[in-house]
Amino acid sequence: MTKKAGLFLLLFWASSPLQVRAASSPQASDSALSRAEAAADQSRRLLGPDHPHLAVSLHDLGELYLQRQEYDRAETMFRRVVAIYEVTLGANHPEVALRLNDLARVYQMKGDFANSERHYLDALAILEQGAVGDPQATVMILNNLAILYSLNGSVWQAQELFEATLRLCGEFSSRHASMFRITLYNLSSLYRSTGRDTAAADLLQQAAAF
C-alpha cells in the first residue's frame, strides 16, 4: 500500500505471469528470509547461475528484501532475475516485463521516480510488442505507473492511466474482478485527493457492487 497527501493507493506485484495481487508491507521474518536465502544458494549450486528456477528463488528473496525495506538488496536480486530471463527467454519476453516491473517498484519505494518510470515504460513496451497480448500484466503495470504519477504530483497523467486501466479491465473483468475493483478504488482515491468527492463516491459504489 502507498500513502501520500491523502492518497491511499494499492500497488500490484506479480509472483508469476498468472498471479497478480495487491502489495502489502509486513516485515518479513528472519526465519523466512533465512529459508529464502538457503533456497537461492541451493538452486545456484545445483542448477548454475543462469537457470530459470534460480530466477524464481531470487525473485522470492527480492520480495522479502523489499518488504524489509532493504532496497539495495532487493534491487540486486531483481536485476539478476531480469538478466537470467533475458538470457533464457529473450529480452522481449513478457516475463522480463514483469521483472522490470519489480525493479520499478524498488525505485518507486526508494523515491527514485525517474528510474521507476523508465522501467515501467520499458516493461509496457515489451508487452506492446508481443504477438499475443497480456492484458493482465498490462493492467498491473499501468496501475503501478499511474500510482507513480500520483505520488509525483502528475495528477492528470495518473488519471488518464487509471481510466485506461479501467477500460482494459472491462475486457476481462469477469475473470479478474479484484483487479477491476482495485483500479476503481485507486481512481476514487485520486478523485478524492483533488476534491472530486462525488465522482469518488460513484466509483466506490461501482467497486462495492462489482
Most confident of 105-109, 179-183, 185-189: 105-109
Which pLDDT belongs to residue 15? Answer: 41
Please report which confidence band the pLDDT of residue 18 belongs to, taking 50, 70 and 90 as the band edges.
very low
* Paired residues of 13 in beta bridges: 21
What is the arithmetic mean of pLDDT over 13-41? 62
Q: How far apart are CA 111 and CA 134, in angstroms?
A: 28
Which pLDDT belongs to residue 139? Answer: 87
Q: Provide the mean pLDDT of the chain.
A: 83
Interacting residues of 108 by C-beta distance below 8 A, sequence separation 6+ = 11, 116, 144, 147, 148, 151
Which pLDDT belongs to residue 5? Answer: 44
Q: Which long-range contacts (CB under 8 A, 24 or more apart) does 158-161 make?
A: 158/190, 159/187, 159/190
Which of these ranges, 58-62, 166-170, 182-186, has the smallest mean pLDDT? 166-170
pLDDT at 6 over 60: no
Closest alpha carbon to 120 in 87, 86, 97: 97
Which pLDDT belongs to residue 22? Answer: 38
Q: How far is CA 210 from CA 29, 49, 70, in A?
A: 35, 45, 37
Q: Which residue has the higher pLDDT, 199 or 134?
A: 199
Residue 52 near residue 16, CB atoms below 8 Å: no
Please report which confidence band the pLDDT of residue 206 belongs to, taking 50, 70 and 90 as the band edges.
confident
pLDDT at 130 over 80: no
